[in-house]
Amino acid sequence: MSAVTVTTGPRADARIPLRAHVRHTGALVRRNLLWIRQDPESMFDAVLFPIVFTLLFVYVFGGSIGQSLGGGQQAYVQYIVPGLMAMMGMNMAQGVGTGFNQDFNTGVMDRFRSLPIGRGSVLFAKISVEMLRMLIATAILMVVGVLVGFDITDWPGLFAAVGLSAVFGTALMWIFITLGVVMKNAQSVQAMGFLVLMPLQFGSSIFAPTQSMPGWLEAFTRYNPLSSLADAARGLMVGGPVAHDLWMTLAWSVGITAVMAPVAIHKFRTKS
């Protein structure tokens, strides 16, 4: 009786046709969705984050910041909801890193490597599921936003803003995939994500206009990709300049993907 050898790695990926890759990705997406169904607590961040942050910022800061915008709380609602949409991709992207790390530490990835499937299918399945979680969080954000007074005046602009946030969020996922592979545990991934996310989020135009910030911080916000994404989303959803921030966001997305996707794939394939 001859032994059966299962080949894994880049050479094995090259031997798997595209149709098989798509089929494998679909099967892994279904596996991840079934895991969420069995563990609904994993959706708490996608469900609660948009509710808590919208209510917190509208009712705690809406009055004072809204006055600086010249319209009170209602003006701040129109300002903050597109900004929070810009946060969705970044916060959901962190879930990719922690999920990957947990799969490695629990032996799930060892099981995948023993199967005749392309390793790229594992990556794209995880990204697809996280993208679905981000869209669910965005839908909840819009429902809560409408309930607190957000006025949707441009539906095509709204869908364009959601698509732009999804593109940027996908780019960020490659960063967190890399962290999920190289970090020792999920807590380390979360801690590193926190150190990256907090300065980017609060040092941006997401929560408040940047004109009153110190000069050095205002300069930082000018080059912060989250500021570009938030301002582009506002322009698309409630009106205002769009072109510069739109192209800046797309440039950041392409640049991050071009740099980090090869790194993430290499680290994933070579992790022992």
CB of 142 closer than 8 Å to CB of 223: no
**pLDDT of 77:** 92
Which SS3 state, helix, strand or coil, does residue 211 take? Answer: coil
**Integer Cα distance of 256 and 243 in angstroms:** 20
205-241: per-residue pLDDT in tens?
Answer: 899 888 888 888 888 888 899 999 999 999 999 988 8
Q: Classify residue 123: in a domain, yes or no.
A: yes
**pLDDT of 93:** 79
Q: Flag whether pLDDT at 120 surpasses 80.
A: no
70 vs 5, which has greater pLDDT?
70
Q: Classify residue 4: in a domain, yes or no.
A: no
**pLDDT of 8:** 45
**pLDDT of 158:** 93
Q: Flag whether pLDDT at 9 surpasses 70.
A: no
Number of H helices, E strands in the chain: 12, 0
Long-range residue pairs from 153-157, CB within 8 A, at least 24 positions apart, any chain = 153/237, 153/238, 153/239, 154/236, 154/237, 154/238, 154/239, 157/235, 157/236, 157/237
Q: Classify residue 224: in a domain, yes or no.
A: yes
Q: Classify residue 107: in a domain, yes or no.
A: yes
Whole-model pTM: value is 0.86
**pLDDT of 15:** 65
Q: Classify residue 97: in a domain, yes or no.
A: yes
134-186: per-residue pLDDT in tens?
Answer: 999 999 999 999 999 999 888 999 999 999 999 999 999 999 888 888 888 88
Q: How many domains does the chain have?
A: 1
Token digits for 25?
């990705």
**Integer Cα distance of 261 and 127 in angstroms:** 12
- Residue range(s) defining the domain that contains residue 129: 16-270
Q: Classify residue 210: in a domain, yes or no.
A: yes
Q: Classify residue 144: in a domain, yes or no.
A: yes
